[in-house]
Amino acid sequence: MTPNSPESSGSRWSDLNRPPLDASSLRRALVRTDSLWTSLDVVDSTGSTNSDLVDRARGGRAEEGAVLVAEEQTAGRGRLDRTWSAPPRSGVFVSVLLRPSVPQERWGWLPLLAGVAAATALARTAGVDTGLKWPNDLLVEIEGVERKIGGILAESTSLPPRGEKGGPEGARPDSSGAVVLGMGLNVSLSSSELPVPAAGSLVLAAAQCTDRDPLLRAVLRSVEDWYGRWSAADGDALDSGLLEAYAAGCSTLGRTVRAELPGGEELVGEAVAVDSDGRLVIGTEEGVQRPVAAGDIVHLRGHGGGTAGGP
């Protein structure tokens, strides 16, 4: 490594193919009086945007609608405590703080909502057909093979009630429940930079747009749109159109899958539906249909996905 090499310079502009995000420009575009988003911060590097935003929320330093973006994540987290990292400015690593006003038993739809929102945004902005692997993965086809380019993680947290020391001024007095919803999306990773060979990125999928700024704007606006529809329907996935949209884009449906369930049980069968609670319904060889609320799903028929980013 030479003294003037990009790796040794330490400059935020050291890799001209991966320019930094403009936080001020993003705030002007997204943080408005009529918007869901109330603040937006961009940090150079962090372990996990989800962990940081959970800490901010619990400490009364973040309100509903807070957005935290990282140029680099060194310990991004996915489901089942999996960790993940990627080169600086190679992806979209973002977490948002939501305080749903709908019944809490419907909050399980939030990661599925984020998947629909992200897939919609990528189709419009990047021209990439994005599939959804239940419950929270984003898939694309690269040279005819299904690859994972993104992951979503929702974590329950709390906000201090209004009037409590450190609590946000606008916090509701009746409930302190909140959700931090995070997303990691591989944008410009090359084949040699992928966390595992079966992962993918927008660049490798020949996306029309790989500029992270418009991609992030599109994703956040799409999340705002779908969150608004879902909230207006009191969290009813059918009335809001969310169930129909998710089922239409879900690559898991119609596939033979293996569900690795909590406690070590495995269930093999065909993924036949997503029910009104967001559970994956699996039809077994015995003719029984079992809803699965949590578990690791492996696609057994067709191309298999890989492992990609997490928030």
pLDDT at 305: 41
**Interior/surface letters 238-272, b for 16+ CB within 10 angstroms, e for the rest:** eebebbebbeebbbbbebebebeeeeeeebebbbe
How much is the pLDDT for 113?
A: 98
- Domain check: are 158 and 273 in the same one? no
Share of the chain above pLDDT 90, in %: 77
138 and 281, same domain (yes or no) = no
Say if 307 falls within a structural domain: no
**pLDDT on residue 134:** 97
Indicate whether 2 belongs to any domain.
no
Q: List strand residue ranges (DSSP E) for 76-235, in order.
A: 76-77, 83-84, 91-98, 131-133, 137-142, 145-158, 177-186
- Residue 102 CA to residue 237 CA, distance in Å, equals 11
- Whether 311 is in a domain gets the answer no
Distance between alpha carbon 268 and the CA centroid of its chain, in Å? Answer: 26
Is 130 in contact with 187 (CB distance < 8 Å)? Answer: no
Please indicate, yes or no, if residue 309 is contained in any of the structural domains.
no
Q: For the chain, give the mean pLDDT.
A: 88
Look at residue 208 and tell me if it is in a domain: yes
Q: Are residues 227 and 135 in the same domain?
A: yes
Domain boundary residue, one of 249, 273, 290? 249
On whether both 70 and 215 belong to a single domain, the answer is yes
d(CA 150, CA 135): 12
Answer yes or no: do 52 and 78 share one domain: yes
Entry pTM:
0.87
User: 304 pLDDT band (50/70/90 cuts)?
Assistant: very low
Is 52 among the domain residues? yes
- Do residues 197 and 280 share a domain? no
Same domain, 186 and 280: no
Give the model's confidence band at 1: pLDDT under 50 very low, under 70 low, under 90 confident, else very high.
Answer: very low
Interval 266-270 mean pLDDT: 95
DSSP-derived letter for residue 193 is G
283 and 138: one domain? no
| Cβ atoms < 10 Å from Cβ of 34 | 4
Residue 309: pLDDT band with limits 50, 70, 90: very low
pLDDT tens-digit readout, 70-115: 999 987 655 545 556 689 999 999 999 999 999 999 999 999 999 9
Q: Can you read off the two tokens belonging to residue 186? A: 């591989």
Number of domains present in the structure of the chain: 2
Indicate if 85 and 148 belong to the same structural domain.
yes
Looking at residue 99, its pLDDT comes to 96
At residue 6 the predicted structure's pLDDT band, cuts being 50, 70 and 90, is very low
For residue 280, what are the β-bridge partners?
A: 274, 292
For residues 267 and 207, membership in a common domain is answered with no
Least confident of 6-10, 95-99, 291-295: 6-10
CATH of the domain at 46: 3.30.930.10
pLDDT of 9 strictly over 50: no
201 and 273: one domain? no
**pLDDT computed for residue 80 by the predictor:** 47
Residue 240 lies inside a defined structural domain of this protein = yes
Of the listed ranges 72-76, 136-140, 203-207, 283-287, the one predicted with least confidence: 72-76
Identify whether the C-beta of residue 73 lies closer than 8 Å to the C-beta of residue 85. yes
Domain end marker among 249, 266, 285: 249
**What DSSP element (H or E) covers 271?**
strand 266-274
Residue 6 lies in a domain: no
Q: 146: which residues sit within 8 A by CB, 6+ positions away?
A: 131, 139, 140, 251, 299, 302, 303, 304, 305
Same domain (yes/no): 148, 177: yes
Cα–Cα distance measured from residue 299 to residue 259, given in angstroms and rounded to the nearest whole number? 9
Pairing state between β 137-142 and 145-158: antiparallel
Query: Cis bond leading into 3, ω under 30°?
Result: no
Q: Tens digit of pLDDT for each residue in 186-213?
A: 999 999 999 888 899 999 999 999 999 9
Residue 244 has pLDDT above 80, yes or no: yes
* Residue 63 confidence class, pLDDT cut points 50, 70, 90: very high
Range of the domain at 291: 256-299
Long-range contacts of residues 241-247, Cβ cutoff 8 Å, at least 24 apart: 242/109, 242/112, 242/113, 242/116, 243/274, 243/276, 245/116, 245/120, 246/112, 246/115, 246/116, 246/132, 246/274, 246/278, 247/273, 247/274
Which CATH number goes with the domain that contains 271? Answer: 2.30.30.100
* pLDDT for residue 13 is more than 80: no
